[in-house]
Structure 1
Amino acid sequence: MVFTSPPDPNNGTAIVDFMVRTWKGEAPATDGFTTVTDTFTIRGTYCVPKNVKAKDTLEVLIHGITYNKTMWQGMGFGDQYDWHKYANSRGYATLALDRLGHGENPQYPDPLNVVQPQMHVEIMREIMTAARDKKSPVNVLGRGFKKVVFVGHSYGSFLGVALAEQYPTVADALVLTGFSNYLDFDAVINAKWVSAATHDPTRWAGVPQGYVVMGEAAERVVFYDGNYDHAMPAVDFQFEDTLTVGEIGALSAILGPAPSYNGPVLVPTPVQDVFFCEEPLAQCEYHLNATRSSFPNASDYDFFAPDNTGHDLTLHYTAQDTFRRVHEWLDAKL
């Protein structure tokens, strides 16, 4: 997406203002689209089953904003939060990716004009397609997989819906956590966003101003509710990742339903998710049931709502139950 009046790339205040106004629904004026061609290094954590019968299925895990691939391992808080370990115990291989510009990826491309949602969709398509073909030069896993499952969290789930609509055969199933058609982003819109390089010049030295972070530790609590380890948000803040101005500015270009997709869809979203659900349980389930309208041709559409759980459902005490229900569903559908 090409923006008509982009913010000054060296003005952190203007960048945050542009991002927040877009988040509030003031869509920026655009001059259409341009093609970006480049070569990127994408890092991931690849885990395979041990001591169990392995399935010929790979789960590709895509993180949300201000996170990276480490969220799927529980940020060091133990195996009870580790998606990889649970999935592997059920016979599924897993590949958690750092989205372009995030995590351990070595490149920080233009945060407004390159690190946009459509670029993420194209990269995911390349990797997930290659995962089926051992001979693909993109495939570094040493084998191919018969089936590939997309697992997204929050912003990652938005990307999964776009992927399913644009490339409906890439994923054999969609698991969209922390997601629904009900949206309330006030809690993050009102956060004190700041350019990462300004916030922590040691960690983010040389990173363009358009990579931003939440500036206060207390703000991380918004991702938690109900039953969770109260030491988690402080660690979450210490290791938070970035959000780019382009990831929000160009989000409207990929939002929408996925009528082209005809595989199974599962939406696990917590009752206390301040962004995508509402209490009580019945109201949350109403929103999750209404979300099936985005997948009119899905072979199956299912959902569940963990209670006493906030937005980051894999980082709560209910994580093991969430893992179990997701993988029971995958066993049934695949």
Structure 2
Amino acid sequence: MHAFSLSALALLSSSAAARTCHNITVPVSISSRNGVFNNTAAPQTNLDATTFVQNQTRQGQNFTAVALTAYATVTGNYNISAQFCLPSGSNSTLTNPTVQILTHGIGFDKTYWDLPYNNYNYSYVDTAVDEYGYCTLSYDRLGIGNSSHGEPRNEIQSFLEIQALAAMTRMLRNGSFPTVNHTFSKVVHVGHSFGSAQTFALTAMYPNISDGIILTGWSTNGSFVGYFGAGADFQQANLNQPLRFGSASNYAVLNSFLENYALTDLVAPVQMAPEQSLAYVNGYLTNSNVNSQQYLFFLPPYFDTGLLYYGEQTKQPVTIGELLTLGSLPAMSTFKGPVLVFTGSNDLPYCGGDCLNTGMSAPSIPSTASTAFPNASVFEAYIQPVTGHGLNFHYNATAGYRYIQDFLMAQNLESQR
């Protein structure tokens, strides 16, 4: 694998382009202390998935504690699928750029940050790179999308994924990130939902690893997370979208059936073949349909309905190990840099659908996260109007992206272009 300077990377694209992006496979060797959840089996059917959620959402029961039998160190060599973007053209002479590391949440992959829908009008990367001159690294979290998959109960859990994030951060800082021959002195971490929870935990575990953090679709109030689990109506991913999430043989069987019964012409207008069969095993769960997709992520009527269907078609699953360790992350971070919590006004899992309904005890539910950052140089909680949990899918997404970039620049974390 070749290494290039930032200017050389930029010159690989046409001068008319506003950015240059490269898909990169990043090998990481990591280990973490994982929970061993042998008191619950990985769901094998859709009914098993429902039973799992019933156990998780039962009041008065900590199902993570019920399922836990021990702890074990998990060590492995994994590949992380990433996209690195930088300004091109006249901005290829960056001398001391700031890189933003973007961590997606449950139900998405790295394309959450660079949505191609409607000519990339909803792309966070476009705003950060094209308008403000930042470099960005988005990636599929370990276990998801084109990154290495793994056993969904005792392997693919929160803390192992955080170690992958930490490893990539260190590579960017010391200049060893594949194909990017540059040392970044300023690194900002941006997360969404579960990705925000992992970003928060990263700074709790390694307070000096980041220069600034943006936590979108998040608060420290976990009272409503059960709404998310119940509203998802989780099913086995490989049964919900068998061609895309199952094995490659699923498509071969269907194609043979269509050809044998002369039905190929009938379905020809339909995209039957996925670009890639992701081969998720049992224990990778996904929301049931477009209705649950709307309930989890969208606030009517403030979105393009076509984007709702796009979100359903491109969704990604969650492992039961992730669901069991979501509430096991640290409660406080000694991080000393600037913190922005950026949450939609009607966020479901972290606000119960109304972030301003606090009984006048606080300006907003996300604002109470200030107590989790006692040493932050700056803490701000911003409520994005008329927006649900999937912030990037709403009409006003770009205005939100600009608010985030302006916050970073005000904290001397400008792009240095």
State the TM-score bracket (shorter-chain normalisation).
over 0.9
1:304 pairs with one of 369, 372, 382 = 382
Which entry has the higher C-alpha Rg, 1 or 2?
A: 2
The CA RMSD measured in Å over matched residues stands at 2.0
AA aligned to 1:79 is Y
CA contact (8 A) 1:131 1:139 kept: no
Contact 2:355-2:365 within 8 A present in 1 as well: no
1:210-254 Cα distance to aligned partner (Å, 9 max, x none)? 111111221111211152112111111111101100001122321
Indicate conservation of the 8 Å contact 2:356/2:365, yes or no. Answer: no
- 1:242 pairs with 282, 298, 317, which one? 317
- Measured after TM superposition, the shift of residue 325 of structure 1 is 0.8
Between 1:217-226 and 1:168-177, the stretch displaced more is: 217-226
Aligned in 2, Cα 1:69/1:23: closer, same or farther, shift over 3 Å?
farther
1:224 aligns to 2:298 (yes or no): yes
Aligned partners of 2:114 and 2:124 also within 8 Å: yes
Gapped runs of 5+ residues in structure 1? none
Distance 2:164 2:311 in 1: 26
Paired AA for residue 38 in structure 1: G
**Counterparts of 1:151 and 1:303 in 2: how far apart (Å)?**
14
CA distance in 1, matches of 2:400, 2:198: 21
Question: What is the TM-score with the length of structure 2 in the denominator?
Answer: 0.75
Q: Is the 8 A contact 1:59 1:149 kept in 2?
A: yes
> Corresponding residue for 2:84?
46
Shift of 1:182: 2.6
Say whether the 8 Å CA contact 2:50–2:233 is kept in structure 1: no
Corresponding residue of 2:55: 21
Which residue of the partner structure matches residue 329 of structure 2? 254
Q: Is the 8 A contact 1:112 1:244 kept in 2?
A: yes
The alpha-carbon distance between structure 1 residues 69 and 275, as it changes in their structure 2 partners (threshold 3 A), is same
Residue 189 of structure 1: which of 226, 229, 252 is its match?
229
User: Following TM superposition, by how much is the alpha carbon of 1:100 offset from its aligned partner in structure 2, in angstroms?
Assistant: 1.0
Contact kept, 8 Å, 1:72 with 1:314, in 2: the verdict is yes
Which residue among 344, 357, 367 is the counterpart of 1:270? Answer: 344
Are residues 1:76 and 2:154 paired? no
Q: Deviations over 1:173-219 (max 9, x none)?
A: 11000001233134422232111111222222242101111112211
Counterparts of residues 127-166 of structure 1 (less than 5 Å): 127-134=168-175, 136=176, 138-166=177-205
TM-fit CA distance, 1:66: 1.1
- Residues 63 and 156 in structure 1, CA contact (< 8 A), matched pair in contact too: yes
Q: Is the 8 A contact 1:131 1:145 kept in 2?
A: yes
Whether 2:206 is the aligned partner of 1:167: answer: yes
Most deviating of 79-88 and 46-55: 46-55
Is 1:321 aligned with 2:409? no
Cα distance between partner residues in 2 of 1:149 and 1:132: 11
* In 1, Cα distance between equivalents of 2:363 and 2:406: 20
Report the structure, 1 or 2, having the larger strand content: 2
Q: Following the alignment from structure 1 to structure 2, what is the Cα–Cα distance between the partners of residues 254 and 245?
A: 16
Change (3 A) 1:273 1:78: farther
Q: How many residues align?
A: 330
Q: 1:60 to 1:20 in 2, by over 3 A?
A: farther
Deviation (angstroms), 1:263: 1.2
- Are the equivalent residues in 2 in contact too, given 1:101–1:108 (CA < 8 A)? yes
Deviations, residues 86-132 of structure 1 (Å, cap 9, x unaligned): 11120110010100111222x32101111000001100000011101
Other-structure match for 2:153: 112
Q: 1:75 to 1:210 in 2, by over 3 A?
A: farther
Which residue of 40, 55, 66 corresponds with 1:6? 40
d(CA) in 2 for partners of 1:20, 1:158: 23
Distance verdict in 2 for CA 1:321–1:123, change over 3 Å: same
Distance 2:37 2:356 in 1: 41
Distance 1:141 1:21, change over 3 A: farther
Equivalent in 66, 69, 75 of residue 37 of structure 1: 75
Identify unmatched segments of 5+ residues in structure 2: 1-34, 248-278
> Does the CA contact (< 8 Å) of 2:42 and 2:320 recur in 1?
no
Residues 24-73 of structure 1, C-alpha deviations (whole Å, 9 max, x = no match): 55323323321111110001111101334745211000001010001111
229-238 vs 248-257, greater mean Cα deviation? 248-257
Answer yes or no: is 1:97 the counterpart of 2:139.
yes
Q: Note closer, same or farther for the CA distance 1:280–1:142 as it changes in structure 2 (3 Å cut).
A: closer
Counterpart amino acid of residue 285 in structure 2 = V
Separation (CA, whole Å) in 1 of partners of 2:329 and 2:335:
15
Q: Structure 1 vs Structure 2: percent identity of aligned residues?
A: 28
Normalised to the residue count of structure 1, the TM-score between the two structures is 0.92
Shift in CA distance, 285/103, structure 1 to aligned 2, threshold 3 Å = farther
